[in-house]
Amino acid sequence: MSIIQRMREPGTLRDRMQGAARGLRGRGVMLAASLALVACGGGIPASNSDTDGPPVYGANGPPDYFAMGPTAPFTTAYRGLRKVELYYDAQAPMVYREDVGSDGQGKFSVETLDVLVSSNPNTSLFLLLQTQRQAQIYRHRDFRIRDLGLFLANYDYVVAPTPTNVAGVTCDRVQVQARVAAQSRFEVDIDPTTGLVMAWEEHDLATGTLEARIAFETYVPNGDLSDMVLMDRVFQTSLYGVHTGAFRDALGFLPLIPELQPGVGYQLVPQAEVLVVNGENWAKLYLTDGMATCIFMDSTLPNSGGASAGPSEKKGEVAVM
Closest CA to 42 of 184, 189, 166, 153: 153
Q: What percent of the chain has pLDDT over 90?
A: 60
- For residue 247, give Cα distances in angstroms to 213, 240, 244, 281, 296: 39, 5, 5, 11, 15
Three-class DSSP category at 94: strand
Q: Under 8 Å CB-to-CB from 31, ≥6 apart: which residues?
A: 2, 3, 4, 24, 256, 296, 297, 298
User: What fold characterizes domain 64-221?
Assistant: outer membrane lipoprotein receptor (LolB), chain A (2.50.20)
For residues 262 and 293, what is the distance between their CA atoms, to the nearest angstrom? 9
* pLDDT tens-digit series, residues 162-200: 999 999 999 999 999 999 988 899 999 999 999 999 999
For residues 138 and 182, what is the distance between their CA atoms, to the nearest angstrom? 25
- For residue 18, give Cα distances in angstroms to 21, 141, 262, 319: 5, 19, 8, 11
For residues 61 and 74, what is the distance between their CA atoms, to the nearest angstrom? 25
* pLDDT tens-digit series, residues 109-121: 999 999 999 988 8
273-307 per-residue burial string, b: 16 or more CB within 10 A, e: under 16: bbbeeeeebbbbbbbbbbbbbbbbbbbbeeeeeee
Comparing 146-150, 201-205, 217-221, 314-318, the range with the smallest average pLDDT is: 314-318
* pLDDT tens-digit series, residues 35-83: 333 333 333 333 333 444 444 444 568 999 999 999 999 999 999 999 9
Domain ranges within the chain, ordered by starting residue: 64-221
Helix (H) and strand (E) counts for the chain?
A: 6, 15
Average pLDDT of the chain? Answer: 80
